[in-house]
Amino acid sequence: MRVATVLHHPVRPVPSYRSTLFTPSPAKMKTLRFSFSHRSTKFKVLAAKKQLPELRSRKQKQDGENLLSRDQKAEEGFDLGWLPAFPHVLIASMSNFLFGYHIGVMNGPIVSIAKELGFEGNPILEGLVVSIFIAGAFVGSISSGSLADKLGCRRTFQIDTIPLILGAIISAQAHSLDEMLWGRFLVGLGIGVNTVLVPIYISEVAPTKYRGSLGTLCQVGTCLGIITSLFLGIPAEDDPHWWRTMLYIASLPGFILALGMQFTVESPRWLCKGGMLNDAKAVIANLWGESEINKAIEEFQLVIKKDGSDLDSQWSELLEEPHSRVAFIGGALFLLQQFAGINGVLYFSSLTFQDVGITDGALASLLVGVTNFAGLRSEKYCALCASYLMDKEGRQKLLIGSYLGMAISMLLVVGATSLPLDEDFSHNLSILGTLFYIFTFAIGAGPVTGLVIPELSSNRTRGKIMGFSFSVHWVCNFLVGLFFLDLVETFGVAPVYAGFGGVSLLSALFAYYFIVETKGRSLEEIEMSLNANSTPGNK
Does residue 458 sit within a domain? yes
DSSP string, 257-283: HHHHGGGSPPPHHHHHHTT-HHHHHHH
Does residue 47 sit within a domain? no
Does residue 148 sit within a domain? yes
Mean pLDDT, the chain, whole residue set: 77
Does residue 398 sit within a domain? yes
pLDDT for residue 288 is more than 80: yes
Return the pLDDT at 377.
40
Return the pLDDT at 179.
94
Phi, psi angles (nearest 5°) of residue 78: -125, 135
Q: Which domain holds residue 519?
A: 313-534
383 plus 513 within the same structural domain: yes
Dist CA 452 CA 456 (whole Å):
6
* pLDDT tens track for 485-527: 778 778 888 898 999 999 999 999 999 999 988 888 888 888 8
419 plus 438 within the same structural domain: yes
Q: What is the CATH number of the domain that holds 399?
A: 1.20.1250.20
323 plus 300 within the same structural domain: no
255 plus 342 within the same structural domain: no
Q: Name the nearest CA neighbour of 398 among 388, 413, 410, 383.
A: 388
Dist CA 537 CA 529 (whole Å):
14
402 plus 292 within the same structural domain: no
Q: How far is CA 23 from CA 34, 265, 418, 489, in A?
A: 22, 10, 60, 57
280 with 268: CB under 8 angstroms? yes
Higher pLDDT, 439 or 116: 116
| Through-space distance between the first and last CA atoms of the chain, rounded to whole angstroms | 49
Does residue 299 sit within a domain? yes
pLDDT for residue 59 is more than 80: no
Residue finishing a domain among 308, 331, 363: 308
pLDDT for residue 164 is more than 80: yes
Among 130-139, 173-182, 291-300, 521-530, name the one with the lowest average pLDDT.
521-530
Angle of helix 242-249 relative to helix 217-232, nearest 10 degrees, comes to: 160
Does residue 58 sit within a domain? no
362 plus 302 within the same structural domain: no
253 plus 280 within the same structural domain: no
254 plus 289 within the same structural domain: no
Indicate the number of domains in the chain.
3
The mean per-residue pLDDT over the stretch 319-326 comes to: 82
319 plus 218 within the same structural domain: no
Among 72-86, 112-126, 368-382, 395-409, name the one with the lowest average pLDDT.
368-382
Residue finishing a domain among 237, 264, 291: 264
112 with 243: CB under 8 angstroms? yes
Dist CA 332 CA 336 (whole Å):
6
Does residue 44 sit within a domain? no
183 plus 251 within the same structural domain: yes
Residue 492 carries which DSSP code?
-
* pLDDT tens track for 417-454: 888 877 778 777 877 888 888 888 888 888 889 889 99
Torsion sign over Cα 231, 380, 412, 494 = positive
pLDDT for residue 42 is more than 60: no
Does residue 16 sit within a domain? no
229 plus 304 within the same structural domain: no
260 plus 295 within the same structural domain: no
**CB neighbour list of residue 354: distance below 8 Å, 6 or more residues apart:** 361, 364
Residue finishing a domain among 264, 299, 325: 264
